Amino acid sequence: MTTEENMEITGIQNTETPNKEDKRQNEKKARPGLKLLLITGICAAFLIPQFLLKNLVSERKGREWEAETEVFEKWCGNQTLVGPFVEVTYTDDSTSKERYTMLLLPEKLDMKGDVSTKALKRGIYDFTVYETSLGLTGQFRLPKDFDKNLPGKVWNFKDARVVVDITNLKGLRDNVTLNLGGTPYVMEASGDYWSGLSCPVDLTALLEGDTLDFSVTIPFKGSGNLMFAPVGQTTTVDLTSDCKTPSFDGYYLPDERQVNDSGFVASWKVLAINRDYPQFFSRSSGIDHLFSQSSFGVELKVPVEQYQQTDRAIKYAFLIILLTFAAVFFVEMRKAKPVHPVQYLLVGIALIVFYTLLLSFSEHINFGLSYLIASVMTIGLIVAFMASVTKEKKTALGIGALLAVLYAFVYVLLQLESYALLVGSVGLFIILGIAMFASQKIEWYKKKE
């Protein structure tokens, strides 16, 4: 054999040796053992930023609540209307100076009003407040046996007063005049047990069995809830409003309601037998709590759900990270394309940043569009990164498609309420089946050469 032939053979051997060494190094890097354990540890470590994300959502929600509280305090908060009703006193005898107070509720009470809403802005937040003028009509009549349990008492109907209790007088937009039996009475702040309005009246006609009709219009504003106490023997409430997202609340739901794009119409009818207090009873401490317990009405504000939905989305963060890491790991095993643990870490950070993007965008635009923008940005970044790491665009696009399916699946779960658990369980079962099938194509135990 000539010297030139020896040199050619030696050159071929030297060329093959590095190729074999590179291949063995790649196979060594692609072995699942310690790598799988390390990836699992990285994945578990992301439970910490998931917890921090939940705290961030709580902090932002707290800021919104503080801004809402400040706006509502300056405008006027929740309003609950109780009345009108009569306060009348009595003594044990004509010489006694100690007086006791009884409450006489109306025989009939009808309330009607149109409630208009408006938006107030505080920083990046918008809050809904309302204004209304409620018309109250009805009649007072003394029960025939009103003094059955109080015989021999001296009643002071001449010095009675009519009370309309309202939560916050700050919300009143004009003076209030009560028309009782055809006589007008200017109502003033009670300034005692009740927080609302009152006026002294002579109700001796009630002792004679007469019925007194009343009417009063109360213009006021408020925010959040608008509630009513069913103090009439028969109480009816008819409301109309331009609020498109009412939430009917309280002890009684409307008998009839219609909600559409222009607002809502609702009506209630409550009887005395539906509540826990009579038409004529002694005033005692806690009576206002008794009224509030039986109150009903509507919450008039646009529901702000971005924080709640973002918080729910964060609960799926670990699942998305786990499945993404699994997909990258399967690619690494099948393609013999080593991915460094630091690169796994960077992919996980990108998946976490998705939630900060979602939270930030959802404070300025609607949640659905925020979710779309954040997911497109995150998927695009990871696809570009994986294409650079694996040198295969097809593989990177496959991982991107997986993420798109996962984010779409989570979004569907966020929109569901009653069926979220069912759909989520079935979806996880299908994902597990796909993962089990994909794992069969991986050569977990490599033969020694």
- Tell me whether residue 1 is in a domain: no
DSSP for 103-142, please give it. EE--SEEEEEEEEEEEEEEETTEEEEEEEEEEEEEEEEE-
Q: Does the pLDDT at position 109 exceed 50? A: yes
Q: What is the pLDDT of residue 133?
A: 92
User: Please, what is the average pLDDT of the chain?
Assistant: 81
Q: How confident is the model at residue 439 (pLDDT cuts 50, 70, 90)?
A: low
Q: How confident is the model at residue 12 (pLDDT cuts 50, 70, 90)?
A: very low
pTM above 0.85, yes or no: no
- Of 25 and 385, more confident: 385
Q: Does the pLDDT at position 95 exceed 90? A: no
Looking at the structure, tell me whether residues 81 and 170 fall in a common domain.
yes
Q: Measured between alpha carbons, how far apart are the two ends of the chain, in Å?
A: 31
Q: Are 295 and 277 in contact (CB under 8 A)?
A: no
In the block, tokens 């705290």 appear at: 55
In the block, tokens 């990270």 appear at: 321
- Of 35 and 378, more confident: 378
Residue among 423, 424, 398 nearest 319 (CA)? 424
Rounded CA-CA distance 320/248 in Å is: 37
Looking at the structure, tell me whether residues 93 and 220 fall in a common domain.
yes
- Tell me whether residue 9 is in a domain: no
Please say which residue of 303, 324, 342 terminates a domain.
303
Number of domains in the chain: 2
Q: What is the pLDDT of residue 253?
A: 92
Residue among 349, 359, 429, 347 nearest 388 (CA)? 347
Looking at the structure, tell me whether residues 288 and 337 fall in a common domain.
no
Q: Which residues pair with 269 in a beta bridge?
A: 236
Q: What is the pLDDT of residue 56?
A: 85
- Average pLDDT, stretch 399-422? 81
Q: How confident is the model at residue 184 (pLDDT cuts 50, 70, 90)?
A: very high
- Tell me whether residue 22 is in a domain: no
- Tell me whether residue 445 is in a domain: no
- Tell me whether residue 17 is in a domain: no
Beta strand pairing call for 256-260 and 263-271: antiparallel
- Of 201 and 39, more confident: 201
Q: What is the pLDDT of residue 335?
A: 64
Q: What is the pLDDT of residue 31?
A: 58
Q: Does the pLDDT at position 17 exceed 70? A: no
Looking at the structure, tell me whether residues 85 and 43 fall in a common domain.
no
- Of 23 and 232, more confident: 232
- Average pLDDT, stretch 330-340? 72
- DSSP letter at 158 equals G
Q: How confident is the model at residue 2 (pLDDT cuts 50, 70, 90)?
A: low
State pLDDT tens for residues 268-309: 999 988 888 888 887 776 676 778 888 999 998 776 677 888
Q: Are 181 and 213 in contact (CB under 8 A)?
A: yes
In the block, tokens 């010297």 appear at: 3
Looking at the structure, tell me whether residues 252 and 137 fall in a common domain.
yes
Looking at the structure, tell me whether residues 130 and 263 fall in a common domain.
yes
Q: Does the pLDDT at position 148 exceed 70? A: no
Residue among 252, 279, 253, 233 nearest 138 (CA)? 233
Q: What is the pLDDT of residue 400?
A: 87
- Average pLDDT, stretch 200-224? 87
Rounded CA-CA distance 22/222 in Å is: 75
Q: Does the pLDDT at position 29 exceed 50? A: no
Q: Count CB neighbours of 383 within 10 A.
A: 20
Q: What is the extent of the structural domain holding 114?
A: 77-303
- Of 338 and 117, more confident: 117
Least confident of 101-105, 113-117, 264-268: 101-105
- Tell me whether residue 168 is in a domain: yes
Looking at the structure, tell me whether residues 267 and 401 fall in a common domain.
no
Looking at the structure, tell me whether residues 113 and 167 fall in a common domain.
yes
- Of 207 and 136, more confident: 136
Q: What is the pLDDT of residue 417?
A: 66
Please say which residue of 256, 283, 303 terminates a domain.
303
- Tell me whether residue 66 is in a domain: no
Please say which residue of 303, 330, 353 terminates a domain.
303
Looking at the structure, tell me whether residues 407 and 373 fall in a common domain.
yes
Looking at the structure, tell me whether residues 127 and 261 fall in a common domain.
yes
- Tell me whether residue 263 is in a domain: yes
State pLDDT tens for residues 36-45: 777 778 878 8
Q: Does the pLDDT at position 418 exceed 80? A: no
337-to-90, 250, 254, 389 alpha-carbon distances in Å: 94, 62, 65, 8
Looking at the structure, tell me whether residues 393 and 328 fall in a common domain.
yes
- Average pLDDT, stretch 262-266? 91
Rounded CA-CA distance 174/187 in Å is: 11
State pLDDT tens for residues 353-394: 999 999 888 888 888 899 999 999 999 998 898 888 878 788
Looking at the structure, tell me whether residues 287 and 320 fall in a common domain.
no
Q: Does the pLDDT at position 30 exceed 60? A: no
Q: What is the pLDDT of residue 444?
A: 57
